[in-house]
Amino acid sequence: AGAHILEMQNEDVAKAWLNIDTEAQGAVYFASNSQIMVRSRFQSLPMPLIASPFANDLETCVVYIDEGHTRGTDLKLPVTAKGAVTLGSGQTKDQTVQAAMRLRQLGTTQSVAFLAPPEVYRSILDVRRAHTQELPRPVMLTSVDVVRWLLEQSCKANEQMMALHFSQCQDFCRRTDIVWKHPNFATNKQHLEKVLQVIRQVEQQTLQQ
């Protein structure tokens, strides 16, 4: 979910993963056209998952879901599947939940681990230190620490959006008010001019402005 694998295409990730995991028989990924593909260890070219022997059984496959497909993807993963969710700077709980919930049995028979780069790891430590006032030795982070950090990032993101939300609220109130004052703007030219004066947003401005 942190979009860390930027230097490789999805197919390249699948191929590299097969080279690392010698027990996996296939690697599932999303092609550039969003078609679900699988690269088999014993075939030279990838094929659509639906046309492969793995279509109804991903037990022997590794599955790579890029950030763009963590919403709306519904693969039938093995009931004992283990997921790995990447964490990125500024990542919110909503992004993470969307990625983790590709595992439909998460919390029962499926599980997930979090992978964080050094800067995110340090940020999680800082949040934990601020919350507990101490760090045990050796430091052992848990999912509780990750969730606390995600909530912290979500709050910061909401705070950063406050100015935009305030501006949008003002604009909505201004538009609604002028329409209430001139309800016949659709048929009355004078009313229409009054409404346009309020709702029109001039994109071009002079240097003096």
Query: Which tens digits make up the pLDDT trace of 34-67?
Result: 999 999 998 889 999 999 999 999 999 999 999 8
Residue 19, domain member (yes or no): no
pLDDT at 207: 80
Number of structural domains found in the chain: 1
For the chain, the average pLDDT equals 89
Could you count the other beta carbons within 10 Å of the beta carbon of residue 55?
Answer: 13
DSSP-assigned letters across all residues of 169-199: HHHHHHHHHHHHH-TTTTT-HHHHHHHHHHH
Residue 173, domain member (yes or no): yes
Q: Which residue has the tokens 């009355």?
A: 188
Residue 192, domain member (yes or no): yes
Percent of the chain with pLDDT over 90: 57
Residue 179, domain member (yes or no): yes
Residue 193, domain member (yes or no): yes
Tell me how far apart the alpha carbons of residues 184 and 190 are, in angstroms, rounded to a whole number.
9
Tell me how far apart the alpha carbons of residues 18 and 39 are, in angstroms, rounded to a whole number.
9
**Which tokens hold the place of 22?**
């010698």
Residue 3 has pLDDT above 70, yes or no: no
Would you give the distance in Å from CA 91 to the centre of its chain? 8
In sequence order, what are the residues at sequence separation of 6 or more whose Cβ sits closer than 8 angstroms to the Cβ of residue 153?
90, 91, 92, 93
**Looking at residues 7-24, what average pLDDT do you find?**
92
**Which tokens hold the place of 77?**
């993963």
Residue 129 has pLDDT above 90, yes or no: no
Residue 136 has pLDDT above 80, yes or no: no
**Rounded (5°) CA angle 186-187-192:** 55
**Looking at residues 162-181, what average pLDDT do you find?**
91
Pairing of strands 111-115, 82-86: parallel
The residue segments making up the domain with residue 191 are 162-199
Residue 186, domain member (yes or no): yes
Tell me how far apart the alpha carbons of residues 4 and 105 are, in angstroms, rounded to a whole number.
25
Could you count the other beta carbons within 10 Å of the beta carbon of residue 63?
Answer: 24
**Looking at residues 94-100, what average pLDDT do you find?**
90
φ, ψ at 33 (rounded to 5°): -95, 15
Pairing of strands 82-86, 47-48: unpaired
**Looking at residues 79-86, what average pLDDT do you find?**
93
Residue 23 has pLDDT above 90, yes or no: yes
Tell me how far apart the alpha carbons of residues 60 and 18 are, in angstroms, rounded to a whole number.
11
pLDDT at 202: 74
Which has the minimum average pLDDT: 19-23, 133-137, 167-171, 203-207? 133-137
